[in-house]
Structure 1
Amino acid sequence: MKKNVNEKEKIGPKIRKLRQIKGLSQKMFAAELSISQQAVSKIENSEIINEETLQKVSEVLGVSVETITNFDEDTAFTNIIERNEVINQRCDVVNNYDSTDKITELYERLLDSEKEKNKILKQMLELKNN
């Protein structure tokens, strides 16, 4: 069964752009789909694509079929930028948390070391005084 796509919104260029965004070469994409590089080129130049192939393409790209069929470059880049900002914010929180934990752990080890040193010095002082 063929997927009907509005002529001005060909499916092939959408697949090409998503592949490029994902950083896949045609050769890598072809290998993931178990087809030839020429077949990938044909898909990327198609106006329509059968449902089975579209499903395989969506799985390899890690996006839903709807994401491919409704793909809009401006919206995609906006979403990618927003996701990256959220990821960066989460990483900052994690990094700050990890850094704080590491500093606290180092401080506690230093403190324990100083306590141990003081204990040994007191024992040495007591021995000297006796």
Structure 2
Amino acid sequence: MSTLTKPNHIGRKISRIRELRDMKQEALAQALGTNQQAISAMENSETIEEERLVEVAKALGVTVEAIKNFSDEAAINYFNSFNDAVHNSHFGNNNHCTFNPLDKLMETVEENKKLYERLLKAEQDKIEYLEKLLKEK
């Protein structure tokens, strides 16, 4: 066997996908109704039963094929191509405002002042009404 070829180690692929999804073994264990030690053992296994693989794929939010075909190189290429596409398009470069953000902020502050003043007036009216009721008694 060549040292360049890697075996299709499903457990290692599950581990990498779990890590990329920022999920701990405990979280995957809980989703599968098992414990962390079982997840550790599964991730060290080269093969996994198909039905268990379906459960793991569902818990990770990926397809069984995604697990079987996963490679670090493909993931890196995917994200690099995504970044290139973003930089070569107007998707990431549309940061020109058609208004002054500080003006919008000040408009909001003024609106909040008006709302506060109306609330304060309503409370003062309520107090006057209650005082009037007390004087009548």
**Tell me, what secondary structure is at the counterpart of 1:9?**
coil
Q: How does 1:1-130 map to 2 (within 5 A)?
A: 8-84=7-83, 86=85, 90=91, 92-93=93-94, 96=95, 99-100=97-98, 102-103=99-100
**TM-score, length of structure 2 as denominator length:** 0.57
Contiguous gaps of at least 5 residues in structure 1: 1-6, 111-130
Contiguous gaps of at least 5 residues in structure 2: 1-5, 108-137
Which consecutive segments of 4 or more residues in structure 1 shift more than 2 A?
80-93
Q: CA deviation at 1:81?
A: 3.2
For the structure 1 residues 86 and 50, does the alpha-carbon distance in structure 2 shift closer, same or farther, using more than 3 Å as the test?
A: same
Q: Which residue of 2 aligns with 1:116?
A: none
Identical aligned residues as a percent? 34
Q: How many residues align?
A: 97
**TM-score, length of structure 1 as denominator length:** 0.60
Q: CA deviation at 1:37?
A: 0.5
Higher normalized helix content (fraction of residues):
1
Q: CA deviation at 1:56?
A: 1.6
